[in-house]
Amino acid sequence: MLRIAVALVMAGLPVWGWAFSVTFINPGHHDEAFWVDASRGMQSAARSLGIDLEILYAERDVLQQIELTRLVTARPPAARPDYLILSVEKGSFAAQMTLAEAAGIPVFLAYNGLLPTEHQQYGLPREHFSELLGSLTPEAEDAGYLTAKKLIDAARHKGLSAPDGRFHLLALSGDRSTDSSIQRNEGMRKAVAEAGDVVVDQLVQTDWRQDVAAFKAGQLYQRYPDATLVWSGSDQVAFGAMSALGHRIPGKDVLFSGVNTSAEAMQAVISGKLTALAGGHFMAGAWALVVLYDYQHGIDFADSEGLEMARPMFTLFSPAKARRYLAIFGASGVPSLDFRPFSKALNPAVDHYDFELARLLEP
């Protein structure tokens, strides 16, 4: 079983040194664009705020997420982090949280929150699990809605309706059990319902994999030849679907959407291959560190923000915004940014967290 642990040793520490320690169990691959950017965003925030940050990669293996949690919680008390940040996927929450609870390590959830069934069983944070502090999740429905609406508007503009006068859409989702995937699907369906003249021919799961998306899209193109819109749960899923398109041209004959902020996706927006792209939620882990910094310094987010924070984090990228994003984030993924202005502890005038990527893209 592959285990990769990256202890991020920061340069240029603030003068007050390390404030406290955090371990993030990253569910993604160590070389996966989205999760690498997520880690870099957290590294930037940790450097800015003086947090000792450790990141452990689970390599898209739900059992490894649990195993890494076990290894961290089994350390001698002095070697344990002050906080754990988890991004629970595919039913890993109960096992990971039980381990942390037994070890007395406070947990904060980022990227994915509790599913409705988990709420029913365990209640709110700080109820069944006293060490579960709360969560910060992107408004994932926004990503599905914004990309689907842009896709539909562009299809109307290009006149890509089928012989029946309606627009036929194929949906390639991430997975069927992750909170963020479920919400993205809901956002897509909301945009379709508002449109009135769009048909979802079929929705399939891809497990977020480009090769699976290519295989399933190839089957769907044969099954639904009138479909001219392909909505995808991520940028890599969209690229997989494009690769199976055959002689038709992406952005002209068939329109594609995606989610995430990889350089490849930005270039596809600029070239017109991707008609709609939403992203910015990779920064949720960095924003979670801001919240924990304030909590560590006596400002409990539960008092003014709620235990389960769902915040707008998605920006819809035009070619101009994509160029701006690449100019700022293109070289290393995430530059060295100053996160101190977002902290309530460092800025008493801040009364509400604003975690939208658009603020970081302002000229």
CA distances for 296 relative to 14, 72, 232, angstroms: 17, 20, 39
Q: Which residue has the higher pLDDT, 249 or 363?
A: 249
In this structure, the number of other CB atoms found within 10 A of the CB of residue 139 comes to 15
Checking if the pLDDT of 280 tops 60, the result is yes
Whose CA is closest to 271, among 211, 333, 317?
Answer: 317
Burial class (CB in 10 A: 0-12, 13-18, 19+), 207: middle
Q: What percent of the chain has pLDDT over 70?
A: 93
Q: At what angle do helices 140-158 and 179-195 cross, to 10 degrees?
A: 40
CA distances for 348 relative to 219, 288, 304, 363, angstroms: 56, 18, 13, 25
Tokens read off for 302:
């539960």
Sign of CA pseudo-dihedral 209, 26, 183, 161: negative
- CATH number, domain 141-279, options 2.40.50.140, 1.10.8.60, 3.40.50.2300, 3.10.20.740: 3.40.50.2300
Checking if the pLDDT of 1 tops 70, the result is no
> Which range, of 134-148, 156-170, 322-336, averages the lowest pLDDT?
322-336
User: What's the whole-number mean pLDDT along residues 9-23?
Assistant: 57
What's the pLDDT tens digit per position in 327-349? 888 766 677 788 999 999 999 99
pLDDT of residue 88: 87
User: What's the whole-number mean pLDDT along residues 278-300?
Assistant: 95
Rounded-to-integer distance, Cα 60 and Cα 64, Å: 8
Query: What is the Cβ-side half-sphere exposure of residue 38, based on CA atoms within 13 angstroms?
Result: 29
Q: Which residue has the higher pLDDT, 333 or 75?
A: 75
What's the pLDDT tens digit per position in 178-192? 888 999 999 999 999
Domain limits of the chain? 4-138+281-361, 141-279
Q: Is 189 helix (H, G, I), strand (E, B) or coil?
A: helix
Question: Do 4-138+281-361 and 141-279 share a fold?
Answer: yes
What's the pLDDT tens digit per position in 208-236? 999 999 999 999 999 999 999 999 999 99
Sign of CA pseudo-dihedral 234, 235, 240, 244: positive
Which helix (H) or strand (E) is 93 found in, with range? Answer: helix 93-103
List b or e across 242-252, with b for residues whose CB sees 16 or more CB atoms inside 10 angstroms.
Answer: bbbbeeeebbe
What's the pLDDT tens digit per position in 101-118? 999 999 999 998 898 899
| 324 close to 361: Cβ distance less than 8 angstroms | yes
Where in the chain does DSSP place strands (E)? Answer: 4-7, 21-26, 52-57, 83-86, 107-110, 132-138, 167-173, 198-205, 229-232, 255-259, 276-279, 308-311, 315-316
pLDDT of residue 332: 61
Per CATH, domain 4-138+281-361 is 3.40.50.2300: yes
Rounded-to-integer distance, Cα 306 and Cα 46, Å: 23
Checking if the pLDDT of 6 tops 50, the result is no
pLDDT of residue 328: 84
pLDDT of residue 307: 96
Mean confidence (pLDDT) of the chain: 91
pLDDT of residue 11: 36
Checking if the pLDDT of 12 tops 50, the result is no
